[in-house]
Amino acid sequence: MFSDSRMKRYAGCGAEEVFRAIPTTPAGLPQERVEAMRAKYGENRLSSRKDDTFPHRLRRAFVDPFTMILFTLAVISLITDVLLASNFTRNITTSLIICVMILVSGAIRLVQETRAKRASDRLDRLIHTNVTVKRGGVLVDIPAERLVVGDLVMLSAGGRIPADLRLVKTTNLFVSQAAITGESAILEKESAPCPDAGRTPFTRLKNLAFMASSVISGRGEGVVLAVGRDTLYGNFVRPDSKNSDAFQRGENSVAWVLIRFMAVLVPAVFLVSGVARGSWLESFAFALSVAVGLTPEMLPLVINACLARGSLSMSRKRAIVKNIDAMQVLGSMDVLCIDKTGTLTQESILLEYYLDILGGESPEALELAYLNSFHHSGLSNPIDSAILACRTMPDRGGRLAELAGLCRKTDEIPFDYERKFASTLVRTPEKSHLLIVKGDIQRVFSRCRFVEYRGEAIPIGENGEGSVSAIVDEMLEEGMKVIAVAKKELGAQERLSPADENDMTLVGYLAFFDAPKRSAAQSVEDLKRLRVTPKVMTGDNSQTALSICRRVGLPAAAMLTGAQIGGLSDEELRAAVKETDIFAELTPGQKVRLLSALRENGRTAGFLGDGMNDIPALNEADVGISVDTAVDAAKEAADVILLEKELNILGQGIMEGRRTFVNMLKYIKITASSNFGNILSVVCASVALPFFPMTAIQLLLLNLLYDTLCIVLPWDSVDAEDTETPREWSGKTLSGFMLSFGPISSIFDIMTFLFLYFVLCPRLCGGLLYTQLADPALRLRYAALFQTGWFLESMWTQVLILHMLRTKKIPFLQSRASAPVLLITLLGIVVFTGLTLTPLAHPLGLTRLPLEYFGFLLPVVLLYMLLVSFVKRLYIRQHGELI
């Protein structure tokens, strides 16, 4: 676990004291101590090695709540239908079918897991390079993951820092900590002890370097203080944070509802059947078969089909879904956290004004800023790009190009996050040296002693800062980025030191316009219409962020900055995120805290990001979203990749996710309630009838036939009202749905039982009831007629209930199923009814029924549909929704 107190303690020590404390030596860690240090502090990995192995991916693919339920039922079926059954009734078909369902659904998941490579691979990429270390006085190149605490690492320009280091030797070492702080600033690092380390934020300690930072220039040596998950970066990057994401939480919730129903029904059926029949062993086998009949056997397959169908549809809308579980989470998402730059605004900014100290146009301020940017050797940034673009200006471009050719750089101090300005020393055509500084207004102004107006240097008065605010504040409120430009004559001096950056002359200001995208305001409105709350999380200036958010229609009444968030406890932050939609000046770790607070508040949160510093938030969010132009590691971390950085594409994805989710819920709710009704009917009939109303193989066949028809559900149309709000993936409403609609089918099942037992079967078996028959053949025919009659009635009602409950509206009239669903389900009724007329019926215990049965069946089914419609209206009135 990362310890800032430990890091600060080492930062305040001298190099020799660090060597003694670890312990190591200036010649590097002795070779014989390497394995001991690895055993004590662990490996330099962001995830454990075991997560990468095939057996663990195999376990993730096959071990989930639904497959475990099915596996348990397969074992139960094996016991009841094979081990406890007589030679005449022994049948292994049920167990085999369930095992095939498990294998097929698990294979689909395994392929997905192997391709995705999930957390460990995508994050280990950050440190999976070779590094040069000194061990026992010898320089060796080793893979970064083989580093241990105490190793002496050699740093050079262009490399990535592979662990948290205490620098012990530096030569002009400049580092970018963008992956840690989110700032593109370049910091100069030193090896000297920091006497005030205890009071300085550890990311600003100059003798510490952190994993995932980049070496911009210079060289250095550092002792490894922490590796892997114990580093600062590893502390807030949690590659396994999605192990309990929104999809899996919902999956567990649904599974527990089914388990609870089994836990109640199986003992009840066992007792009732045992008392009624007197055969406790037979009753035990029957009670266990009830559990088999209650579970939708093809649940994993249908869910995966729905998710895969949604993913395919998303690909046509210029979005790639890497993790198919993310389709459901998109439908459940009720908060979308986005960055400002490139999402709400253009990727680039434009120079709008170049002003003197009173707000008039100042060509000199532009020329000086151009020279500073032209000779800048640090990381490219939008401000420098906007200034350099001025060389194409018709009236100024020639002069700027001429100056760049005449003025040669002799030294510079790159932009520093702590200083927030960049300094360049140039030699002018007059052979003198001119210091040019541009950067943060307050930081630059605090170093100035004079202001320039109309070529004259005027001392800054007591109200100088107020004068600056009068010119600058209005532009900041309008959402512009404003920087200050200052200069200082240094005569013949050719080298810079920080002491030179004082007593300067303020020349003027440059104002840049960060224009909102044309589509941004409409995209924000679309998200609000979809009941998704957009929250802006940016590292940018608070006033600029506030202005842009106002322009695109985001509520700007409340805002929190990174400094304010740093002073809040977790409980206070959870309360704050409920009321605040704009967060500015954030570090990557603070974005993670905000997302964690949202999730703890019960929100389903998505995050859209594209940079190295966004990777922690992408992993923390319920669904991570990136773009095809993002850095590789961010794309690896994301669940969804947009081929264009436009919110309207994401809006389409949310709609597709909700359609996918609704179709998935249709299967789960309707099938579970239908199976529950069948089980109730079986229990009632088993108490009164001298034979089983349906055999185990018939019950399983009925479920499989219905489930097979449900494979077309991913292609079903969805009513517009069902996609208006985020949908919760939970079992909370499943039990109520089952209890409301399941018993309705039992009412008509009992009507069918009475007609079959007392009317149809006696008429076809010599006018006698089953108990009055002495001939075993007639008894078998009696039972076969009864079981076939209920099989058909149950199959008809199950298929039609799919149409009745797939929509709030009147089916076939106000809301029509898609052509595939309508065709397949109606064709299924015809085909499976015809099955009873073929030779295949006999092995299944089914037989041919006379036409008069269908004269009874049609009005029963019609009454059933009418009663379901009535109860559906009552259910919607009480719960506000159906599916």
Q: Give catalytic residues, as residue numbers.
A: 339
Q: If we measure between CA atoms, which residue out of 616, 865, 561, 589 comes closest to residue 741?
A: 865
Q: What sign results for the dihedral spanned by CA atoms 861, 867, 870, 876?
A: negative
How is residue 50 annotated by DSSP?
A: G
DSSP state of 818: P
Question: Coil, strand or helix: which one is 485?
Answer: strand
Beta-strand ranges (E) seen in 653-711 are: none
623-627 vs 640-642, strand pairing mode: parallel
Q: Is 68 exposed, middle or buried (0-12, 13-18, 19+ CB in 10 A)?
A: middle
Residues 391 and 401: beta-carbon distance below 8 Å = yes
497: helix, coil or strand? coil
| Calpha distance 606→336 (Å, rounded) | 5
Per the CB < 8 A criterion, the answer to whether 585 and 542 are in contact is yes
Q: Give the whole-angstrom CA distance, residue 696 versus residue 676.
A: 15
Buried-state track 129-147, b at ≥16 Cβ within 10 A, e below 16: eebebbbeeeeeebebbbb
- Asked whether the beta carbons of 314 and 321 are under 8 A apart, the reply is yes
Which amino acid, residue 521?
A
Q: Which residue bears the tokens 């897991």?
A: 113
Instruction: Give which of 525, 555, 626, 533 is closest to 333, Cα–Cα.
Output: 533
Q: Residue written as tokens 């001119």?
A: 434
3-state secondary structure 698-731: HHHHHHHHHHHHHCCHHHCCCCHHHHCCCCCCCC
How many helices and strands in the chain, by DSSP H and E? 32, 23
Cα–Cα distances in angstroms (integers) from residue 777 to residues 85, 290, 404, 780, 789, in the given order: 21, 28, 107, 5, 18
* Residues 631/635/640/646 CA torsion (nearest 10 deg): 10
**Cβ count near 554 (within 10 Å):** 24
Which residue, chain included where needed, has tokens 């998303």? 314
Nearest to 147 by CA among 240, 235, 219, 230: 230
Q: CB 404: neighbour CB atoms within 10 A?
A: 18
Contact 527, 336 (CB under 8 A): yes
Residue 543, C-beta contacts closer than 8 angstroms, at least 6 positions apart: 476, 477, 479
